[in-house]
Amino acid sequence: MTERATELIERLGTVQRAARRRHATAADLSLAQLDALVYLAGCNRFSDTPAAVALFLDATRGTTSQSLLALERKGLVTRSADARDRRVQHLRPTAAGRRIAAAASADDLSAGLRGLSAPELTALERGLERVLRSTQRARGGRSFGECGTCAHLRGAESGDMSCGLTGEPLSPDETHLRCAEHAPV
């Protein structure tokens, strides 16, 4: 049973990477550049730094830096210094960058997943999250989950949400974004 599940996950990964390569080529990007752009389009304001991109992509900082510089030159990402710590740089996709990221995320695999019933999709997501988290833990990696599923989220019951690590308020939209500091509940 485990062998079959592993084979299916690997095959889905292969199919997904092939689709991503096609999107990257169509947008005149490398696969690493597209992956960085897609990550930035879905991360929160605490996780939009070059270091977080490198961690998420499991890439070196040098490789990541080159990808991010290329995205800036192409007008797909903007860079700004942090208001509190000028050494920290934040990266945000431009409108053109968001369009490319959205197109790359709306592929055949996404369409196939939409064909599942809500209970099937929920069960699949929970199972895959457990597998991913245990694999990441075994390798010493971070989970990069959504704020809404994080142990640091405060005030979800009242709707007055904030991050327990930073103390900063969170909008409902932000709770659906990836965070480098995510701690599974």
Domain ranges of the chain: 1-115, 118-185
Calculate mean pLDDT across residues 138-148. 80
**What is the dotted CATH code of the domain comprising 1-115?**
1.10.10.10
| Region of residue 76 (phi > 0: left; psi between -120 and 50: alpha; otherwise: beta) | alpha
pLDDT in tens, 165-182: 888 899 999 889 888 888
Q: For residue 116, how many other CB atoms are within 10 A of its CB? A: 13
Contacts of 142 (CB under 8 A, 6+ apart): 55, 136, 180, 181, 182
- Is 70 exceeded by the pLDDT of residue 55? yes
* pLDDT > 70: percent of the chain: 99
- Is 70 exceeded by the pLDDT of residue 1? no
pTM over 0.75: yes
Nearest partner of 184 among 139, 131, 111, judged by Cα: 131
